[in-house]
């Protein structure tokens, strides 16, 4: 009898060990096992960090699971390197504290230095930005400087973010910095039109970035690019509301890395302030941006569908007489069609010091949504024209600079917030650069 019991116990222990072994192999680390509660009010920051640390220490592929339900998260800094590939399966809704004073750094959740990273599952990261959008007491307490970015991806290599939503971020929704080979697929960004500085996806100092089949409606830029963005493809993205797709603003900081190889293809912008845009500061530091291609773009009710603005000056606090020293070259706009709300639907304002080189405009068909006729305004550029352009592009050049001053004043005002955004993230990323 005793011997039998012993054998029975022994077998039970073995089977429990086997089960544990199987679990370790599958490498699933649910935040529930680490104390998280799907009650929408218990802070899961410790549970998430512990689950991540365990996954990160696993030598085989490991999965962090945030199951269905709603979770409160005060913040998380998830730092690699990890021993094996890491997957985040996010099925639930993760919510930030609404109180802006709860944040001391410009981040809510960051993923740092992880190789072979995946995030998927249909989950939602809700930044609860409503209070932040009011900017109440901003000057006094100065919290606006470090309003948190919803999701930061810093120094990731081989990453895939799929089927995930970022909602109502207090500042940018997503910031990509120092990444190599990172793809966003079926990503969603949603925030109100009146949410300041809430860029959808901001990319800087990264190479091999793809944003595919993504839907972005927010208060600021849809996708924006800082210095050092290289080899980027934005395809099948719909934008609106917001400020459109924007390269720059460039030239505000010394020694910015070149922007090179950006393709924006098959995108639709609806009710946005701008369509596709490249902007650099006047009186800027030297810089280079080349190989930027915009093709098969549909605009609907967009204020300014095509803009190159080398006199970008929100708040009108620049020396507009001094030219930009950012050299722009190898730019194409092809198959851009739809409706604009402002007459100056096409503005190509280049630097007198470094006129834009090798600019091509292909088939363009932009009509005014209301009465009147769309037109183009050009300075310091002699584009190569292929196919048909309506309105005519860069014909007649009288009063071009008058028009351009007015034009950039207008667009500057319109996007003052995105100017702030560029500055803020630029600073954030330069400090990051030092630490890398």
Residues touching ligand NAG: how many (CB under 6 A)? 10
Smallest separation (angstroms) from ligand NAG to the CB of 118 = 7
Pairing, β 223-225 against β 107-112: unpaired
Of residues 91, 257, 291, 405, which one binds ligand NAG by CB under 6 A?
291
Please give the DSSP secondary-structure letter assigned to residue 272.
Answer: B
CA 194 vs CA 244, 249, 305, 315, 422: distances in Å:
14, 21, 20, 18, 18
Count of all residues that appear for the chain in the document: 436
Determine, following the binding rule CB under 6 A, whether residue 212 of this chain makes contact with ligand NAG. Answer: no
Omega cis (within 30) before 124? no
Q: Is 404 helix (H, G, I), strand (E, B) or coil?
A: helix
Smallest separation (angstroms) from ligand NAG to the CB of 162 = 9
Please give the DSSP secondary-structure letter assigned to residue 135.
Answer: T
Of residues 160, 320, 322, 368, which one binds ligand NAG by CB under 6 A?
160
Determine, following the binding rule CB under 6 A, whether residue 159 of this chain makes contact with ligand NAG. Answer: yes
30/181 with CB nearer ligand NAG: 181
CB-based contacts of 132: which residues, under 8 Å, 6+ apart? 100, 147, 170, 171
Smallest separation (angstroms) from ligand NAG to the CB of 210 = 9
Smallest separation (angstroms) from ligand NAG to the CB of 80 = 15
What's the first-to-final CA gap in the chain, in angstroms? 65
83/146 with CB nearer ligand NAG: 83
**What is the maximum span of the chain, computed from C-alpha positions, in angstroms?**
106
Q: How far apart are CA 430 and CA 433, in angstroms?
A: 5
Q: How far apart are CA 225 and CA 198, in angstroms?
A: 14
Of residues 45, 115, 158, 430, which one binds ligand NAG by CB under 6 A?
158
Of residues 45, 115, 290, 301, which one binds ligand NAG by CB under 6 A?
290
Active-site position among 199, 227, 243, 303: 243
Determine, following the binding rule CB under 6 A, whether residue 183 of this chain makes contact with ligand NAG. Answer: yes
Q: What token pair was written down for 189?
A: 């960004």
Q: Is 147 helix (H, G, I), strand (E, B) or coil?
A: coil
45/120 with CB nearer ligand NAG: 120
Q: What token pair was written down for 54?
A: 């365990």
146/180 with CB nearer ligand NAG: 180
Other beta carbons within 10 Å of 142 = 9
238/330 with CB nearer ligand NAG: 330
Smallest separation (angstroms) from ligand NAG to the CB of 297 = 21
Determine, following the binding rule CB under 6 A, whether residue 181 of this chain makes contact with ligand NAG. Answer: yes
Stretch that binds ligand NAG, among 78-86, 155-163, 191-199, 293-301 (CB under 6 A): 155-163
Active-site position among 154, 199, 220, 309: 220
Residues 308-367 within binding reach of ligand NAG (CB under 6 A): 329-330, 358
271/357 with CB nearer ligand NAG: 357
Question: Dihedral sign, CA of 22, 76, 419, 193?
Answer: positive
Spatial CA neighbour of 307 closest among 408, 184, 409, 190 = 408
220 is catalytic: yes
Smallest separation (angstroms) from ligand NAG to the CB of 186 = 14
* Contacting positions for ligand NAG (CB under 6 A): 158-160, 181, 183, 290-291, 329-330, 358
Catalytic residues: 220, 243
């Amino acid at each position: 009898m005793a011997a039998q019991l012993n054998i029975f116990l022994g077998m039970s222990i073995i089977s429990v060990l086997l089960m544990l072994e199987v679990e370790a192999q599958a490498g699933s680390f649910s935040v529930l096992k680490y104390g998280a509660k799907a009650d929408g009010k218990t802070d899961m920051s410790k549970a998430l960090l512990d689950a991540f640390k365990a996954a990160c220490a696993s030598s085989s592929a490991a999965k962090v699971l945030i199951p269905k339900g709603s979770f409160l998260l005060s913040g998380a800094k998830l730092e690699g390197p990890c021993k094996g590939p890491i997957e985040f399966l996010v099925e639930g809704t993760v919510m930030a504290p609404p109180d802006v004073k709860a944040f001391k750094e410009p981040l809510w959740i960051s993923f740092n230095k992880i190789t072979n990273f995946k995030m998927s599952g249909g989950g939602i990261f809700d930044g609860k930005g409503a209070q932040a959008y009011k900017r109440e007491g901003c000057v006094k307490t100065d919290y606006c400087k470090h309003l948190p970015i919803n999701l930061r991806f810093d120094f990731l290599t081989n990453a895939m973010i799929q089927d995930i939503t970022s909602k109502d971020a207090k500042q940018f929704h997503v910031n990509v910095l120092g990444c190599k080979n990172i793809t966003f697929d079926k990503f969603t960004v949603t925030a109100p039109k009146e949410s300041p500085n809430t860029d959808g996806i901001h990319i800087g100092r990264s190479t091999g970035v793809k944003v595919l089949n993504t839907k972005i409606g927010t208060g600021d830029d849809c996708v924006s690019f800082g210095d050092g963005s290289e080899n980027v493809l934005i395809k099948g993205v719909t934008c609106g509301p917001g400020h459109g797709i924007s390269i720059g603003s460039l030239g505000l900081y010394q020694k910015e890395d070149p922007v090179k190889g950006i393709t924006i293809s098959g995108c639709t912008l609806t009710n946005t302030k701008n369509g596709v845009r490249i902007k650099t500061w006047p009186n800027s530091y030297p810089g280079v941006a080349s190989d930027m291609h915009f093709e098969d773009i549909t605009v609907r009710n967009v204020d300014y569908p095509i803009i190159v603005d080398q006199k970008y000056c929100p708040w009108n606090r620049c020396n507009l007489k001094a030219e930009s020293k950012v050299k722009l070259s190898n730019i194409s706009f092809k198959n851009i069609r739809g409706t604009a709300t402002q007459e100056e639907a096409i503005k190509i304002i280049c630097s007198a010091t470094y006129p834009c080189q090798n600019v091509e405009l292909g088939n363009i068909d932009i009509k005014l949504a209301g009465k009147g006729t769309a037109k183009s305004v050009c300075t310091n550029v002699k584009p190569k024209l292929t196919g048909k352009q309506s309105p005519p592009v860069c014909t007649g050049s009288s009063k071009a600079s008058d028009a351009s001053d007015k034009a950039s004043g207008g667009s500057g005002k319109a996007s003052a917030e995105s100017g702030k955004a560029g500055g803020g993230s630029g600073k954030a990323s330069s400090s990051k650069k030092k630490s890398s």
